[in-house]
A and B are shown apart, each in its own frame.
Chain A
Amino acid sequence: MAYLELKNVSKAYGTGKDRVEVLKDINLTIEEGEFVAIVGFTGSGKTTLINLINGLEFPDEGEVLLQGKPITGPGPDRGVVFQNYSLLPWLTVAQNIKLAIDEVYPSASKNEKKEMIEKYVGMVHLSHAIDKLPSELSGGMRQRVSVARALAMNPKMLLMDEPLSALDALTRGTLQEEIVNIWGEDRKTCLLITNDVDEGIVMADRIIPLNPGPEATLGPNFKVDLARPRVIAEINKNDTYKHLRNEILEYLIAVGASRSSQKTTQYELPDLKPVMPGRIKWGLRKKKEKLEYF
């Protein structure tokens, strides 16, 4: 039996005229221990899809089954890594993670909790920053804390909603490796949502493109048959990688083109006139500022 199953799921926002069908007839199965990436354009309904799985939202039609049972709300069996980190800015790294541990292991003693916090912080290589506030951390470090918090719930499934899209390419590469390593340790089921095809290929077993919304549907499966560990510098030269990457990109571009040709919305440009700065100055005129290079 599949671990997670989405059957004919549709989701719309708004009512009446403003009703927008975001997702339509989504069918998806994820096996236990599988790492699946969903790749799509921004605004194609990726976050809605992940919210349906983590239980923050519910489908209008169809059903979302977790181990054969419909999802009734968020639960500790699914850890979520949010796109914008969503750390509580008034709590330190340790306190942010403790929040998750408190909920999953309410009866653990103080020392046990402390050990667990240290374990998960160590897992994402942040032991030196355990008592810092999120505002004192860089973007990559914050996202690491967010990953540690999701892992601290010891979930059976890890949901990641564009976890690395706000990071620079270098940090992104190292974090991709780290996440895959952590995943490799106990092979949790993983669902990664991303807008970066390379990221999907490096991390996932299977890539599914999400056709752009409204009425977004899932595209065909692309299996990634590259041996792990995948190092981006090495697989760059790999022919299978190049082939797969081109295939997915071509598919996405084709879908994107067909979508945009259907669009008939015309944008009206606002009729603006520039306002020139003018101010009456009394007295002596100020000397004009000169740029001096030497």
Chain B
Amino acid sequence: MKERILQLTGIQAFLAPWISVIKGEEVQKNVQALLKSYIYPLLSILLFIGIWHAGATYLFSKEATAKIEKARAERGDAGALEMQNCIISGDVSCQPNTLPSPAKVWDAYLSLLADHKIISAKKDAFDLKVAKTNEKRIAKGQDPITYTGRPSFVDQIKTSLKTVFAGFLLAAFIAIPIGIVIGLSTTLRTSFNWLIQILKPVSPVVWLLLVFMIVKTVMSDSDMDKSFMISFISVGLCSMWATLVNTSMGVSTVDKDFVNVAKVLKLSIGQNIFKVVLPSSLPMIFTGLRITLSVAWMVLIAIELLAQSPGLGSFVWEEFQNGASDSNAKIIVAMFVIGMIGFMLDRIMMVVQKMMSFNK
């Protein structure tokens, strides 16, 4: 099992050259493989960072020159000199606001981590302080006091993951059953095809507004977390179409041999669905789910941004509104974190998908 997972994730193929080189098997061939799978990707990363650094430096100097020239126009040469010194000294008040360099982004990343440590320490201290009070409140049947301070970057990631999984599960629970029913009947498929085709390309923003209209009314007097509800329902609705279409496609295109077997054996409808149709369409359903998860993650950021629900999306938006000296760098950090988490989710789904596909 462990070996199979290693193999499916591609970790085995990734580590194989190292192991062989250490063992001394076919050294030349494996060194070449190492070069190919490690050194070249590493070089491409360095190239990327190099171009980024050069670009950021150019933009920085352009913005700085503009600032100095503006100061010269307003206050003469003395003002220009003062501005120049101010920029060189690194004072927060006069830094040019432009694309941050890789070094600044790294600093921002470190400061976000430090910030997380401070906040979680505060949180722990708070929890310790209110532990006794909370016990009393629970005994009395009241809600415990919770920490309501500013969430750290890591907290935002956790919230985003929670939302995306809730949305993904919602999408799976809606799309798979409907997909099976629609796939089984040509009548249903043709009658609902227009609806699916029209709703599929609708933008996440519109879905959000639609869900907002409905949830606002339905939950007008509930004290559940409305922004979370809105964002995860919209994520689910945006992303479920891939699974719906793939499921109905998989169910409707079962191999003709299997259909004939089912007919000749006179299988009942239940047996037919669970023993023949579903197993043979599982690979397609999981392909659909993989697309759904990646769409859900992509859409989530935009929806969080709009719905004001906590998470990475609102983090990005708040940083942009904030306009502090390291805001831009923090946005770029968030960008990379979003990308890496998306990559990881896709990998996980790929493993599940491969495990589900049977070989004939």
Q: A: which residues have CB within 8 A of B?
A: 54-56, 73-76, 78, 80, 82, 84, 86, 88-91, 99-100, 102-103, 134-135, 149, 153
Contacts and interface: CB of A to CB of B under 8 A. Distances in A.
B150 interface: no
A135 B358 CA distance: 9
A82 B359 CA distance: 20
Contact of A103 (B257, B258, B267): B267
B279 A90 contact: yes
A86 B358 contact: no
Nearest to A78: B264
Contacts of A82: 257, 260-261
A191 B232 CA distance: 60
Given A91-B279, A102-B271, A153-B265, 7 more contacts: A86-B261, A88-B275, A88-B276, A89-B358, A89-B359, A100-B265, A134-B360
A76 B266 contact: yes
A149 B286 CA distance: 30
B137 interface: no
A99 B264 CA distance: 11
B263 interface: yes
Which DSSP category, helix, strand, loop or mixed, fits chain A's interface? loop
B96 to A, nearest CB: 41
Nearest to B261: A86
Contacts of B258: 86, 88
Contacts of A88: 258, 261, 275-276, 279-280
Contacts of B279: 88, 90-91
Interface of B: 257-258, 260-261, 263-268, 271, 275-276, 279-280, 358-360
Nearest to A98: B275
A25 B265 CA distance: 29
Which DSSP category, helix, strand, loop or mixed, fits chain B's interface? helix
Contact of A91 (B257, B267, B275): B275
B358 A90 contact: yes
Contact of A99 (B263, B265, B359, B360): B265
Contacts of B358: 89-90, 135
A74 B266 contact: yes
A90 B257 CA distance: 14
Contact of B264 (A54, A89, A90, A134): A54
13 contacts: A55-B264, A56-B260, A56-B264, A73-B263, A82-B257, A84-B257, A86-B258, A88-B275, A88-B276, A88-B280, A89-B359, A90-B358, A149-B265
Contacts of B359: 89, 135
A100 B267 CA distance: 8
B267 to A, nearest CB: 6
Nearest to A153: B265
B262 to A, nearest CB: 9
A130 B231 CA distance: 51
A149 B263 CA distance: 14
A86 B267 contact: no
A90 B277 CA distance: 11
Contacts of B275: 88, 91, 99
B263 A74 contact: yes
A139 to B, nearest CB: 12
Which of B265, B268, B275, B280 is packed against the most chain A CB atoms within 10 Å? B265
A80 B267 contact: no
A261 B358 CA distance: 47
A56 B265 contact: no
Nearest to A87: B261
Nearest to A106: B268
Contacts of B267: 99, 103
Contacts of B264: 54-56, 74, 78, 80
A56 B266 CA distance: 11
